[in-house]
Chain A
Amino acid sequence: MSGVQTNIKAKAHVYGDHIDTDRIIPGKYTKTLDLSTLANHVLEDLDPNFNKIVQPGDILVAGINFGCGSSREQAPLALKQAGISVIIARDFARIFFRNAINIGIPVLEIADHNIQKDAELDVNLKTGIVKDLSTGKTYEATKLPDIMIDILNEGGLVNYLIKHGNYSL
């Protein structure tokens, strides 16, 4: 993988189901190209402490329908800017899922995960295998469509199109 680190070992910040994009980054902060503004307000209505405790490389873990609501790409951008290296959820809302891949954040869908707050995770992005070092459990993420793997391997859709000039399947 050229644009994305293959192995990530970090702490998990764990949240629940149906975290909508207004919780990830409220609409009032989205009209900006300044990514630090997004990072300063990320998840503030859900967990006001998040941006104080998050460390570069940390992992975000959620339940079902993560990122539902608006199409704002500012949501995954805010998480990326705050240092989140990979997002794991039971499943994702579809626009958020595409947006995350397009800006180069790996997203892993693990329908049956039971990862708890502050777990230490070891994520292999190549195989989609996630080891929960706190419990010893191992999970396998749903495989992404090939085109999404290609986009992610380039670090996002901008780099993919610089390289290919167009979509190819």
Chain B
Amino acid sequence: MGQTISEKIISNHVGRKVYAGELVVSKVDAAMASDTTAPLTIKAFQDMGGKNVFNPNRCAFIIDHAAPSPNERIANLHKMMRDFAKEQGMRLFEIGEGICHQVMVENQYVKPGDIFIGADSHTPTYGALNAFACGVGSTDLAATMMTGKIWLKVPQTIKINCTGTLQDGVTAKDLILFLVGKVTVSGATYQAIEFCGEAFEGLSLASRMTIANMSSEMGAKTGIVHPKGLQLDYDFDPIAPDEDATYIKTFNFDVSGLEPQVSAPESPDNVHNISNYEGTKINYAFIGTCCNGRLEDLDIAAKILKGKKIHPDVRMIIAPASQRVLLDAMNNGTMNTLIEAGASLITSGCGPCVGTHQGVPADGEVVISAANRNFRGRMGNPNSNIYLGAPSTVAASALDGHITNPKKYMV
């Protein structure tokens, strides 16, 4: 009987063929927690009698959600993480090194075919790498760090097949926003997603990460991009589904005519063509996050902003996904272009997206953001409104002072 990608990866880890619906205890290749989840993880690890993490080379902490620390309370939680990591001999990625998902990929904590457990809901991002990656909470993560294992129900899989190629000026973010709108925020709960078809085959690793990242906005346990076309700078054995694999549901879309997409407040699946929102006045434009803070995202914004100034009533914040992304964007001139256009650069991290610090909107303000969530209060103020779009849309809107189709700046 044929298997999906998830069934194959889990089978490889439990040493027998398993299929959707089975409960398994699987070994885990690597695990991580951020500064939102690590303090509770450390507490649970100690409370459950944990002595040593299962493999200090495959466990990591990342300080990204409130980096650098905005107050003494959080400073003390960061210290607790540093102390624990040192004691365990595991790596702690410091403030500014980057957003957890970006640094896990850059530092090869995750590779194709792996099972990765992360105490962050956007852990499915690694599905871009053909890995089975799940988000969990702190206590689950503590248990995984102690035992090297997790219990899982082998998920059923939804197949999303996209034919056609995206038009110029339409990006992976537009594609995944469109898909979230179709599948809805609870459309894949408890299930895995496989993204396959021509539209994904030509995508870069960065774009594939944007796609897999928003699997969690459909409620999915994991979201894996078909490995066809995946290019990495090391050799790997791709894991593709069998032709006779069983899917609970299949979506087919021809995306060759797709327009730029916008998700309106206050749910990521409230997605429409950008034409519905063009002209909506904005106060604040944000590019960053685990969804869209990579080099290609900053490059496309720089291309639109080159030699221009953002609208005088708009402030723009850029948070590169990692230090490596920042260095690359400095080396290729992108960072100069963005700052000359009037953008403000902040430390690599999650701050504005998760409402911790570094850019909380005021009452009544409107934000256009390249992030993945626009729940009420998400950016720290329940009286503001967040629209989600591609980095290109954010840059074009920052220029015009209102939501703008970026295509006019991209031809």
B183 at interface by CB-CB < 8 Å: no
B355-395 near A? 1/0 per residue, CB < 8 Å:
11000000000000000010111101010000000000000
Nearest-Cβ distance from residue B18 to partner chain A, whole angstroms = 12
Residues of chain B from 182 to 212 with CB closer than 8 A to chain A in the complex: 185-186, 189-190
Q: Is the CB of B151 within 8 A of A167?
A: yes
Query: Of B25, B44, B219, which one neighbours A65 at CB under 8 angstroms?
Result: B219
Residues of chain A from 135 to 169 with CB closer than 8 A to chain B in the complex: 145-147, 156-158, 161-162, 165-169
Q: Is the CB of B375 within 8 A of A94?
A: no
- Return chain A residues, CB-CB under 8 Å to B376: 22-23, 45
A98 at interface by CB-CB < 8 Å: yes
Nearest-Cβ distance from residue A156 to partner chain B, whole angstroms = 7
B136 at interface by CB-CB < 8 Å: yes
Which one of A6-14, A29-37, A51-59 is at the B interface?
A29-37
Q: Is the CB of B73 within 8 A of A156?
A: no
Q: Is the CB of A64 within 8 A of B43?
A: no
Q: Is the CB of A102 within 8 A of B137?
A: yes
A95 at interface by CB-CB < 8 Å: yes
A120 at interface by CB-CB < 8 Å: no
Q: Is the CB of B39 within 8 A of A99?
A: no
B7 at interface by CB-CB < 8 Å: no
Closest B residue, CB atoms, query A166: B147
Q: Is the CB of B375 within 8 A of A20?
A: yes
Q: Is the CB of B140 within 8 A of A102?
A: yes
Nearest-Cβ distance from residue B177 to partner chain A, whole angstroms = 17
With A31-B65, A31-B66, A45-B382: A64-B186 Cβ-Cβ less than 8 Å: yes
- Return chain B residues, CB-CB under 8 Å to A74: 40
Closest A residue, CB atoms, query B376: A45
Q: Is the CB of B137 within 8 A of A73?
A: yes
With A31-B35, A69-B375, A167-B25: A95-B139 Cβ-Cβ less than 8 Å: no
User: Which residues of chain B have a CB within 8 Å of any CB of chain A?
Assistant: 23-25, 35-37, 39-40, 43-44, 47-49, 65-66, 73-74, 77, 119-121, 123, 135-140, 142-143, 146-147, 149-151, 153, 185-186, 189-190, 219, 221, 267, 354-356, 373, 375-378, 380, 382
Selected A-B contacts with CB under 8 Å, 17 pairs: A18-B186, A20-B375, A22-B373, A22-B375, A23-B375, A26-B380, A31-B36, A33-B39, A33-B40, A69-B121, A69-B375, A70-B36, A73-B40, A73-B139, A99-B140, A167-B143, A168-B25
Q: Given A65-B219, A157-B139, 4 other A-B contacts at CB below 8 A?
A: A23-B377, A26-B355, A27-B378, A95-B137
User: Which residues of chain A have a CB within 8 Å of any CB of chain B?
Assistant: 18, 20, 22-23, 26-28, 30-33, 45, 64-65, 68-74, 77, 91-95, 98-99, 102-103, 145-147, 156-158, 161-162, 165-169
